Structure 1
Amino acid sequence: MEFKIDDGPFSAGTASALDEFPELLGYEDARNHLWNSVESEVMLGVDSLNQPVTVDLASDTPHVMVSAASGAGKSVIAASMATQVLVKGGEVVFLDVKRISHRWAKNLPGVHYAVEIHDIANALVSVAAEVKRRMRIIDDYPGDIKDAPVGPRIVIIAEELNSMMEELGEFEKTLPRRGVYKPSRAFGDIMNLGRAAKVHMIGFGQYVDAKVIPKRWQESFGYKLMLRHSVSTWNMLAWNVGYCPPAPQQPGRGFTVMGDRAVQTQFLYISEEQCADLVRSAYDARERMGLIAKPPSRRQRREQERELKELERSS
């Protein structure tokens, strides 16, 4: 038997599987997949074989967590995911305690933006009330749950999750103990009921603190995207994968953790200018075709208000 020791796939000058990633995965590289994927699917990037790495918010997991060191690309991932949701007719709610994370998205169609902590609290309880309203529609619908006319998909982009939850905790201390539907409970209701209602949480943080984000909520984030992770972060968020691999240092490179499997991924990069242009162009095209969803009717707003009052009475 002959063994190729001096000349093989890992010899100097040859490429191993780990080196088959593009240096940058831009919009032009991914546009065919982006525009031909199903409404619930979001492209995250590509693997070492240049195959798309995606998440289907309807079937894979309703919620995604992104854990990355400062400057590793959290905002880039948030922008590409939000853009894909918006161009497919969904709505995106930005909860931005940093205030300046996604200025490109402000005033775009389908975008709701909250920066003050009381506005973030309002957004959470309002979205949770919408989840409850949609669940009633699903309950009354005779057909398949996935076909229930609940409205457009809603994705929440929660920036700096640790800081946001800590500030919400302080804010809740100023609220009456009873008769108030608290934003932390709203957060939990969204996590627990969001899938069927087409409402999803994409949480971002440098190191997700188990004291701030309870284990039961961490488990609801079925996909975890990790860039420049530490051993302790890996062991907390990807413990079921096993051995902690070295964190890739190439720009935009990290891991997509799916249950007990981790796939090294070159994440998609779309510039902020491209994101804004794509959202506007897609909106204009849908408007010309008469596909723009009508704003909430008075009846829908009244139903949402009733749900919120019911939630307050039960608090």
Structure 2
Amino acid sequence: MTKTALPTMLSFTDPGLREQIEALPEGTVLIGVSTDGRAVAVDLDAEAPHVLVSTATGGGSTTVLRSLTAQFLHQGAHALVLDPRVSHRWAKDLPAVTHRGNTVGIHDALVGLGDELSRRLDLPDTQLAATPRLIVSMDSTNSTLHQLTRHWETIRDTDDPRTSPAVTALEAALWSGRAARVHVLLDGTPASNVLGAAPHELFGTVILARVTATTWQRLAPLAGPAPTPGKHHGRGHVIQHGEVHETQGIWMTDADVINWLTDPQDPEN
């Protein structure tokens, strides 16, 4: 493989990039460009239908979630954006987006997700095919799951299950999402004792940046030893089918997303 020099930033406004993104088929979105010059993309229909993003502080996980979610929305998907750090202000007032930021709101939204998942699984194939994809984009997964568990402990009745129904719904979406056109984008390092499986079993695409060797081995055990962490903003490693692609991710600002999704015909956006 011949490596090429990657740009220090890959902006949505770079000439030709928006057109390349818009030419992708429904269900496929662009993560970025690899060191061998190839486009690195997520294909929800050809791989395990979920994406895991894990980075050190400042590693760009919020940017990745924003870029991927926005691209799916542009293709006609709906999105549930779970945003405890309030990092995704772009999502608050957009059509086809439900944004929740506090623990109670996230709990209720995930319980509703469980109901929606059941509804979709009961639909005939032809009706399901006409139903928009649902993207569940969850920031700060580790701390959010912890907060959901604590919240459930304070409100559950004696006869209620011990596990938070919000956590149960998220786990159900991970296991049954493909059959219901529900796809989960997680930021964090969720433990297998919480979500019930190793990452390589549930996530067809794992995106890592500036993580420790221990975290790399846990989240990408089939990908070999951890590479040396890079220092370029927006650059990380994408693991798909056991292969590792050093990749410069797309930089898409809040304004880029809002303008693109609210006025997609304006070439200046």
Structure 1 CA distance for aligned equivalents of residues 8 and 76 of structure 2: 31
Q: How does 1:295-306 map to 2 (within 5 A)?
A: none
Structure 2 CA distance for aligned equivalents of residues 183 and 256 of structure 1: 29
Structure 2 CA distance for aligned equivalents of residues 265 and 125 of structure 1: 35
Which of these residues, 176, 183, 186, is aligned with residue 200 of structure 1? 183
Quick one: which amino acid aligns to residue 186 of structure 1? A
2:123 aligned counterpart, secondary structure: helix
Q: How does 1:216-255 map to 2 (within 5 A)?
A: 216=198, 219-255=201-237
Identity %, equivalent residues:
27
TM-score by length of 1: 0.77
Structure 2 CA distance for aligned equivalents of residues 103 and 19 of structure 1: 35
Q: Is the 8 Å Cα contact of residues 171 and 196 (structure 2) preserved in structure 1?
A: no
Question: 1:170 matched to which residue of 2?
Answer: 150
1:137 aligned counterpart, secondary structure: coil
Deviation at residue 26 of structure 1 after TM alignment: 1.3
Question: 1:131 matched to which residue of 2?
Answer: 117
Matched, 1:113 2:113: no
Question: 2:262 matched to which residue of 1?
Answer: 280
Quick one: which amino acid aligns to residue 189 of structure 1? A
Deviations 1:204-253 (A, max 9, x none): 02x44455444356621221100112101111111111122112221111
2:10 aligned counterpart, secondary structure: coil
Which of these residues, 80, 85, 90, is aligned with residue 77 of structure 2? 90
Which of these residues, 17, 23, 31, is aligned with residue 30 of structure 1? 17
Structure 2 CA distance for aligned equivalents of residues 177 and 168 of structure 1: 18
Deviation at residue 281 of structure 1 after TM alignment: 1.2
Deviation at residue 148 of structure 1 after TM alignment: 3.5
Structure 2 CA distance for aligned equivalents of residues 69 and 248 of structure 1: 11
Question: 2:87 matched to which residue of 1?
Answer: 101
2:238 aligned counterpart, secondary structure: strand
Structure 1 CA distance for aligned equivalents of residues 100 and 152 of structure 2: 17
Q: Is the 8 Å Cα contact of residues 96 and 159 (structure 1) preserved in structure 2?
A: yes
Distance 1:30 1:186, change over 3 A: same
Structure 2 CA distance for aligned equivalents of residues 25 and 184 of structure 1: 35
Deviation at residue 271 of structure 1 after TM alignment: 1.5
Q: Is the 8 Å Cα contact of residues 192 and 198 (structure 2) preserved in structure 1?
A: no
Which of these residues, 15, 21, 27, is aligned with residue 6 of structure 2? 21
Question: 1:153 matched to which residue of 2?
Answer: 133
Structure 2 CA distance for aligned equivalents of residues 265 and 25 of structure 1: 10
Structure 1 CA distance for aligned equivalents of residues 72 and 96 of structure 2: 10
Deviation at residue 107 of structure 1 after TM alignment: 0.5
1:81 aligned counterpart, secondary structure: helix
Rg larger in 1 or in 2? Answer: 1
Distance 1:242 1:172, change over 3 A: same
Structure 1 CA distance for aligned equivalents of residues 116 and 131 of structure 2: 10
Structure 1 CA distance for aligned equivalents of residues 221 and 250 of structure 2: 25
Structure 2 CA distance for aligned equivalents of residues 113 and 208 of structure 1: 21
What are structure 2's unaligned runs of at least 5 residues?
none
Distance 1:236 1:217, change over 3 A: closer
Deviation at residue 203 of structure 1 after TM alignment: 0.4
Distance 1:272 1:232, change over 3 A: same
> How many aligned residue pairs are there?
261
Which of these residues, 65, 68, 79, is aligned with residue 81 of structure 1? 68
Could you tell which deviates more after superposition, 39-48 or 241-250? 241-250
Structure 1 CA distance for aligned equivalents of residues 179 and 230 of structure 2: 35
